[in-house]
Structure 1
Amino acid sequence: MQRRGRGNRFAAAICAAWVWLSVLVAAPANAADPPARDARQILADWGIAFSGAYIGEVLGNAAGGVRRGTIYAGRFDLGADIDLDRMVGWSGATFHANVFQIHGGGLSRDYVGNLMLASGIEALPATRLYEMWIEQSLLDGRLTIKVGQQPSDIEFIDSKYDDIFVNSALGWPGITGVILPSGGPSPPLAVPGIRVKAQLSDRITAYVAMFDGDAAPAGPEDPQIKNPHGLLFRVNDPPWFIGQLKYGFELGAAALPGSITAGAWYHMGTFDDQHLTARGLSQADPAGSGEPANLRRNQGVFAVYEQRLARSPLDPQKGVGLFARASVSPSDRNLVSLYLDGGIQISGFSEIRPNDRIGVAMTYARISDGARQFDREFRQFTGSVAPVRDYEAILEMTYLVELKTGVVVQPLFQYVMHPGGGAVDPSDPAQSRRIRDATVFGVRTTISF
């Protein structure tokens, strides 16, 4: 208990210091003050830049799910970037760190019961260090190496057209977020790792990374409880490797930009069999131990396609953009074996509101054959009429409105089909009914400073 108390005070001190410095830097200088007293300019001269954002959202489950209800959730994101060349003469090097302060409830956790969380900021309340890394640029920027605690979702299996969406699976894909230990390196848990990015040609970029394979120690507790402040800096777990090649091109006479990314990942840890025990019996068989077999290694392959479909007459950098992603992993050791998503983002459609955006997207996560076979055999051995899980799918529609520079409001709608992959509704006394499809409405507000 005493150790946790010290961690809380340390994390709170980090957050408080970041808040104080961010407010200092964000505060406009008095016009009567001499330029030398502009804190932002002084820090910029040293190569230091502070940033901050607050995301606050109200989400409600209007129908279906486990039960109806509404939550408020919020996250402060306070960060610093340091140009180490300006500060200490380390040519081509940059330092970055940021802290999350997370508060509020979780709609998926408390009301919907789905695998792909309704919000990418949904997490247990905490103050935690998220990223802390150094990136070295070489060969005139054609090669960069990043070392330290970092996420994977910003560069890997990503599209620039998915950034508008609120559902967590439309950021870090639903399959990796479900099957990797602790959800993989993505909010709210980053891990130590090394990432190499190489610009092989004008059109081809290669990425490869090695991360620690788990953000938290083994055990039944939630990983966010086991690593409450992001300060474990784990480096001894079986590693997780990921790599991808991205090819950029222009389409048609209008030279509409697009790209195709293909890649794979490999985890060297052990994973539970979804169906069988170590003796080869079904986990549902009363004659067996019920303990899953441990399977060595795990892997996946993925692809991402993104394409500008039309340019805005108001701004050639805006218009209609399309993205689609697909990923496959083995069925015997993963709850989800196939994942697909895709969507459209529209921008630059109004002279009056030039930075507003509209997005429509859908996800699909197929429950693996191993998990489905376990469900069928559970029915057979117990005489239960519980449903066999099959898939979870989500439709999201959202409209991002810029009220002023740095302030956006985003109403959204999500329809969640087969929450939990079609899992049993825990409120059903007969344990024979799936969790009902859920209808989610909400509003997200983002303030950047």
Structure 2
Amino acid sequence: MKTEIGALAAGDSYPASQKPDRSAPARPRFVPTVVAAMGLFAGTAEAQEALPVAGRSTDLAVHAHTSWATGPIDHDPASPARTLSGDRVTRIITIPSVTSGQAPNKIEIAPMFSPEVFSGFFPPQWDAHRNTLLEDQYFAPSPTTQHLLPSLNGFRQRLGNYGVGFQMSYKAEALGVASGGKERGMEYIHEVNFRVDLDLKKMLGLDGWSVHGLILERAGRSVGKQKLGDYYINYGEIYGLSGNSAAHLGFLYAEKRLLNNRVDIIFGRMPLSTDFATSPLICTFMLLCSAPVALKLDAGLSVYPKASWGARIRMRPTRDTVLQFGAYQVRPTASDISGWAWAGEETTGAAFPVEFTWQPFFGSKKLVGHYKVGYMHDTSIYADNIGKLSPALAKGNGVFARTSQRDSVWVLFDQMIYRSGGVTQMDGAYVLAGYVHNTPRNSIYSDEAWAGASFAGLIPGRNHDRLGVLYNYYRVSPRLETGQRIREDAGFSLDATVAGPQKTTSVIEVNYGIDAMHGLLIQPEFEYVFRPGGTSRIPNAAVLGVKVIGIL
């Protein structure tokens, strides 16, 4: 049975009374959106909590406008599950929940102008914005919507009534080299984190204000460094910038919604990679989480769980576009390992990222896509990758070291190609690809490119299991390679972490995430590494392992 409240049920086409007027093509495409915009500017752009519908306890009531997707992401708790509250809505439609007890729709930012940009050129029947609204939960995998300890749900609800939300999670990874590399063997890493979200409207009456914080504990060793001789790529998801830490501050920032929830601002201690050049989908892969390696590898960039002072502004100019920009402190990666030594930090400069996203929905199946382009300028002064050369070597090879600032550009996309039966943005199969380019003079990786696919519901009855296949290519900066070759040819030894002049590394990753039970993900992992460490002097390697995520 489909339920309708003043609009359309999920999957319905236009009712006869609302069919587009083909004699006046502009009206069905823009008039309804203008009317919706009038409602927004009248102050009715906020979404209500999920409303009960008679006879359908699992129906979710959502606002008529679409929104940028965020949710309780298992890989990076810095992306909060945000829900707006309000007294009125302009239009309600109901969408059946995929799983009983699933979290309600998360609405983030209302559009500033209702007409679309690129999607406005589509025939009305192509764009799912025009008839039914897709639920906005863009995260993976599904255990993040449930908990291992449902007995705590009542306690969570009582705290939530006072504006306090919390989440505890445990993540473990075991990866081992089965063949090739420097040596055989396995390494183990784990992360335990505790997150708190405070709704200051409920607590103190401060409308639009909230505070988010996370503390984590990490321990273990990197299989890349220990077994593969690769000091650039982690190969696992957890081990990285923070190293072993008993109580690392992952983030602590405030959030403010302005202009009837059309503008979202966050500021405080936070990672840049939570919002830029990333998505929940890419974090179903160990190699990409929580940001492309080419961006997070170089010293200074604020990548989860390494936080720095910063601010980010996000807005939705139209229903199908998102624009965000920010400013972040840049500091040496090794400084302030615990995340608490704010007064002793060394600041080298500031990073200024900007990113534009187009988010279309195609057809009656609501096949969603995310197409992103971004740019970032880092004002820090970095040394030349050519390294320190004697005047004779530099002159003989025609190269001279010069310090410079750093620029990065990225293009990412993912597009759903089929839907596996659910209504959320993760209930289906995607193709995805991306490319990152950094200033070659001072970046370890000048280029990174990847392409892959993510399939949900391949096995009947297992709609929330997900198969992922990814090919990732890394190009060491030609400037860095040139410096290494000059020194080696001159008879000098290279760094102890470098087996030889470095050029490229490629990795194939295959994983299968099993939604074992509510709140528990088990994901077997396979990786095949071509040229570990960027050199052919280390044999190609096969890596096997498993990841386990428990949401308490």
What range describes the TM-score normalised by the shorter chain of this pair?
0.7 to 0.9
Indicate the residue corresponding to 1:5 in structure 2: none
Find out whether 1:442 has 2:442 as its counterpart. no
1:213 alignment partner, one of 320, 327, 330? 330
Q: CA deviation at 1:314?
A: 5.7
CA distance in 1, matches of 2:290, 2:401: 32
1:406 touches 1:447 (CA, 8 Å); kept in 2? yes
1:172-187 aligned at under 5 Å gives the runs 172-179=291-298, 181-182=299-300, 184-187=301-304
Q: CA deviation at 1:58?
A: 1.4
Cα RMSD of the aligned pairs, angstroms, is: 2.8
Larger radius of gyration: 2
1:82 touches 1:94 (CA, 8 Å); kept in 2? yes
Residue 279 to residue 297, structure 1, CA distance change in 2 (3 Å): farther
1:29-428 aligned at under 5 Å gives the runs 39-114=155-230, 115-123=232-240, 124-127=243-246, 128-167=248-287, 169-179=288-298, 181-182=299-300, 184-214=301-331, 216=333, 223=334, 226-233=335-342, 234=345, 236-251=347-362, 256-275=367-386, 277=388, 282=393, 293=401, 295-313=403-421, 317=425, 318-382=427-491, 387-422=500-535
Q: Which runs of 5+ in 1 are unaligned?
A: 1-24, 31-37, 217-222, 423-432
* Amino acid across the alignment from 1:448: I
1:185 touches 1:215 (CA, 8 Å); kept in 2? no
CA distance in 1, matches of 2:544, 2:403: 40
Residue 284 to residue 136, structure 1, CA distance change in 2 (3 Å): farther
Residue 397 to residue 90, structure 1, CA distance change in 2 (3 Å): same
Indicate the residue corresponding to 1:429 in structure 2: none
Moved more, 199-208 or 381-390: 381-390
* Amino acid across the alignment from 1:201: T
* Amino acid across the alignment from 1:296: S
CA distance in 1, matches of 2:416, 2:198: 34
2:384 touches 2:404 (CA, 8 Å); kept in 1? no
CA distance in 1, matches of 2:406, 2:507: 26
SS state of the match for residue 370, structure 1? helix
SS state of the match for residue 337, structure 2? coil
Indicate the residue corresponding to 1:9 in structure 2: none
Q: CA deviation at 1:350?
A: 3.7
1:270 touches 1:294 (CA, 8 Å); kept in 2? no
Residue 87 to residue 62, structure 1, CA distance change in 2 (3 Å): same
CA distance in 2, matches of 1:228, 1:259: 34
Q: CA deviation at 1:372?
A: 1.9
* Amino acid across the alignment from 2:516: L
Q: CA deviation at 1:92?
A: 0.5
Residue 215 to residue 129, structure 1, CA distance change in 2 (3 Å): farther
* Amino acid across the alignment from 1:371: L
Q: CA deviation at 1:29?
A: 6.3
How many residue pairs get aligned? The number is 393
SS state of the match for residue 325, structure 1? strand
* Amino acid across the alignment from 1:63: S
Q: Please identify which structure carries the higher strand content.
A: 1
Moved more, 348-357 or 40-49: 348-357
Q: Could you give the per-residue CA deviations for residues 178-214 of structure 1, whole angstroms, max 9, x where no partner exists?
A: 22x24x2123312111011011111111111111112
TM-score by length of 1: 0.81
* Amino acid across the alignment from 1:258: G
SS state of the match for residue 309, structure 1? strand
CA distance in 1, matches of 2:444, 2:340: 29
* Amino acid across the alignment from 2:531: H
CA distance in 2, matches of 1:282, 1:243: 40
Q: CA deviation at 1:282?
A: 4.7
1:300 touches 1:327 (CA, 8 Å); kept in 2? yes
* Amino acid across the alignment from 1:434: R
CA distance in 2, matches of 1:29, 1:320: 33
Q: Which runs of 5+ in 2 are unaligned?
A: 1-147
Residue 440 to residue 276, structure 1, CA distance change in 2 (3 Å): closer
* Amino acid across the alignment from 1:416: V
